[in-house]
Amino acid sequence: MSEPTHPLVPQPCTLVIFGGSGDLARRKLIPAVYNLLLDGILPPNYAILGNGRTPLSDADFRQTAREAIAKYSRQKISEKVWPDFERRLFFVAGSLQDPKAYKALRQRLEQIETDLKLPGNRIFYLAIPPTSIADAVEGLRSAGLVQPPSSEGPFSRVIVEKPIGRDLDSARKINEAVSRVFDESQIFRIDHYLGKETVQNLLVLRFANSIFEPIWNYKFIDHVQITVAEAEGVGTRATYYEEAGTLRDMVQNHMLQLLCLVAMEPPTDLGADSIRDEKVKVVRSLRRYAPQQVGTYVVRGQYTAGAVSGKPVVGYREEEKVNPNSETETYVALRMLVDNWRWSDVPIYVRVGKRLPKSATEISVHFKRAPMVLFNRDSTALDQNVLVIRIQPDEGISLRMMAKIPGTSLRIEPVKMDFHYGTSFGKASPEAYERLLLDAMSGDPTLFARRDEVEEAWAFIDPIEHAWSQKENAPPLSFYPAGSWGPEEADELLANDGRTWRRL
């Protein structure tokens, strides 16, 4: 086993959660801190201070945290650990639009830091609607709560949740508002896909093994597929979803991040900026669609009534809080090209959707067929070698290759070499938010998106949204029954190139 190249050393700090009374805090953030504590990797001294308009007392917040951990945590409540964890949870109510709220926050924060002998390191987590981000950072600045970056003295960092805007213009405005108060080195833009173990393993797979890199290019790779399938519908997020749609909600951030890790050049080192420099080059190299090409290369779909896992479900337009004539997409498939030497003319097909037959995320790299000689001579062409990186569930990697079926006649069939994280390492992967919070406490921004990455991604997305929003000649919305693999047009996208989607 090799030594870790990046030992993370989280610093004692206070995590201030704006949106501490919200869904994200309950389902992800508080359970994540608790799991870090149980795993013994939280700094020895820490506190969590929640904020929201709901008038919660510390006791209420502690009770909510306990219920959230009981429901959502990877590990169970330990009565031995709980009393010390609980006494480090606090809540201060107040509106982000009220200057007095920041004064109250400051007083409370300083009191907690004195009582717990914390060094004044602060991480402000903005788990709030994007429309309040500018108010939040400005409020922090005017209350004197943000320290400039320095190697000495306590640190101030801010974690910004997605969505960062709804187009390039609004993303720039949010980034500018945050940059007026925090230096880029203090800003951690979260994309929780980057916190997933298998996603990080992509870099290891590509650059710690000598066998893949020489064939990771247009000479050997026929095409790549990236799939993020969700069995769930829009659930309780309809109001947000109606505004955003799948392209903004999933493609602009998670899908492009995955694509970057598959397609990037080897970085010069493992430094945060070296990796992010290479990722941003990929986004810049993406071929942009002309307005008249959007309909040909991008499919947008919406689910109708159907059945998922045998259970009948309503169509998107029948969901609560959804406009019955909604044009919002719940499915997107794209044919993308990275215009650089490595990926010349290698299509990268991306699909993502709700109410598909199951929830699964994977990347598959399809290699070119063996030459049409020897075993590949007759009309029944051999299958391609396919390297599959399963991101969830059952994280792992498999390689499909050809093998002879035992017997006297020569019959060839594809077989699979399979690596499962669970069985090989014998322990569950930590949740993405655990890793990312730990990185923020340690000051390592590698797994967070830099400003230029976010803005370049919007520059790619904007023309598609623009084409879809045309009054006339907008590419049509396609429909698919819930429980199917998406609209027929998505199959045609690949069929036009003589290819098919991989069956998951």
Which range, of 1-9, 38-46, 50-58, 334-342, touches ligand NAP by CB under 6 A? 50-58
Active site residue 420: no
According to CB under 6 A, which residues from 122 to 141 bind ligand NAP?
A: 127-130, 132
Q: Counting contacts by CB under 6 A, is residue 97 touching ligand NAP?
A: yes
Identify whether the C-beta of residue 64 lies closer than 8 Å to the C-beta of residue 459: no
What backbone phi and psi angles, to 5 degrees, belong to 266? -60, 130
Q: Counting contacts by CB under 6 A, is residue 340 touching ligand NAP?
A: no
Which range, of 19-27, 113-121, 218-226, 345-353, touches ligand NAP by CB under 6 A? 19-27
The size of the interface with ligand NAP (CB under 6 A), counted in residues, is 21
Lookup: tokens for 456: 């370049």
Q: Kindly report each contact of residues 341-347 with a partner whose C-beta sits within 8 Å and lies 24 or more positions away, as own/partner.
A: 341/217, 341/218, 342/216, 342/217, 342/218, 342/263, 342/265, 343/217, 343/218, 343/263, 343/285, 344/218, 345/218, 346/218, 346/221, 346/222, 346/223, 346/224, 347/223, 347/224, 347/497, 347/499
Q: Counting contacts by CB under 6 A, is residue 352 touching ligand NAP?
A: no
CA distances to 38, 150, 226, 414 from 82, rounded to whole Å, are: 10, 35, 41, 51
Cα–Cα dist 454/444, whole Å: 18
Cα–Cα dist 139/97, whole Å: 8
Candidates 6, 192, 223, 254; catalytic one: 254
Which range, of 52-60, 63-71, 168-176, 219-227, touches ligand NAP by CB under 6 A? 52-60
Identify whether the C-beta of residue 61 lies closer than 8 Å to the C-beta of residue 29: no
Q: How far is the CB of 164 from ligand NAP (least distance, A)?
A: 9
Q: Counting contacts by CB under 6 A, is residue 166 touching ligand NAP?
A: no
Given the complex with ligand NAP, which of 113 and 161 has the nearer CB atom? 161
Residue nearest to ligand NAP (CB): 22
Q: How far is the CB of 483 from ligand NAP (least distance, A)?
A: 23
Q: Counting contacts by CB under 6 A, is residue 170 touching ligand NAP?
A: no
Cα–Cα dist 8/203, whole Å: 18
Given the complex with ligand NAP, which of 53 and 87 has the nearer CB atom? 53
Which range, of 69-77, 92-100, 257-265, 469-477, touches ligand NAP by CB under 6 A? 92-100
Amino acid of residue 75: Q
Interaction site with ligand NAP (CB under 6 A): 19-24, 27, 52-54, 95-97, 127-130, 132, 161-163
Residues assigned a catalytic role:
254
